[in-house]
Amino acid sequence: MDVVDMNSGLDLYLVRHGRTQWNMEKRYLGHTDVPLLSNAASELKPLRLHIEQEKLTFQYVFVSDLIRAEHTLQIIAPHLVDQAIRDHRIREYHFGEWEGSTYDMLKSNPAYRSWIDHPERITPPGAEAFTAFRERVSQFVDNRLLPILENKHGMDHRSEHTCASKDISYPKVLMVTHGGVIRQLMSTYVQNSNFNSVVSGPGELQVLRLRLQAGQLSGEILYK
């Protein structure tokens, strides 16, 4: 039977950083370099054990350059720290003057109410425009992930019968980042998903399978 040239793909293991004091206080946390809580190792232990017990191996590792993301990687996969590529483009959204504020502190502000309803249209004072945030995440995908997909690293070409099943081996990519970045990736590439519908708690793992076919990227959630 002839070998079928399948579309290329990768499995993107998306980890949101562990919990910080600002997370506990429900403060908006963007570029402020707040560390993890002192009990981070204990809170992240289930994720570290999952990686160990599943014997997950990653061909590529990317991490935000903020300390809470770097520390999370050090805890869940210390053997991958030297392999990791730090990239500022997968930092959290920059909240500007609202950085460090809570809902209760801002709820009487009409601009804040408008931003909650339409974050893609309203920019907090001194903050990053949502279009700029979306663009830098897109640039990360284009510069870091597309080359993996286009080279078809790790693709397992099989017969038509085998490829019809889901037993396909794609390269695994670990990415330790922030909630906003994960939401942006999911809402961009997963059908019927939007930015506000995606939820990722501190220290949680989601797996997004990205496929490139005829120059178009699409995604499927494998694990959450």
Please check whether residue 18 is in contact with residue 43, taking contact to mean a CB–CB distance below 8 angstroms.
yes
pLDDT for position 192? 85
Summarised one tens digit per residue, pLDDT across range 44-75 is 999 999 999 999 999 999 999 999 999 999 99
Q: Could you please report the per-residue DSSP string of 160-199?
A: HHHHHSS-----EEEEEE-HHHHHHHHHHHBTT--GGG--
Which of 42-46, 53-57, 93-97, 213-217 is predicted with the least confidence, judged by mean pLDDT? 213-217
pLDDT surpassing 80 at residue 7: no
Residue 72 CA to residue 139 CA, distance in Å, equals 24
pLDDT surpassing 90 at residue 19: yes
Which of 21-25, 59-63, 193-197 is predicted with the least confidence, judged by mean pLDDT? 193-197
The amino acid sitting at 176 is V
Backbone angles phi, psi at 213, to 5 degrees: -140, 125
Question: What would the mean pLDDT of 71-91 be, rounded to a whole number?
Answer: 98
pLDDT for position 5? 41
Give the DSSP H/E element, type plus range, for residue 217: strand 216-223
Please check whether residue 21 is in contact with residue 211, taking contact to mean a CB–CB distance below 8 angstroms.
no
- Determine the angle formed by the axes of helices 130-140 and 179-189, rounding to 10 degrees: 80
Q: CA-CA distances (angstroms) from residue 110 to 98, 101, 127, 196? A: 13, 15, 16, 20
Question: What would the mean pLDDT of 16-36 be, rounded to a whole number?
Answer: 98
pLDDT for position 171? 96
pLDDT band at residue 195, thresholds of 50, 70 and 90? confident
Question: What would the mean pLDDT of 132-151 be, rounded to a whole number?
Answer: 96
The amino acid sitting at 127 is A
pLDDT band at residue 167, thresholds of 50, 70 and 90? low
Residue 202 CA to residue 128 CA, distance in Å, equals 22
The amino acid sitting at 42 is S
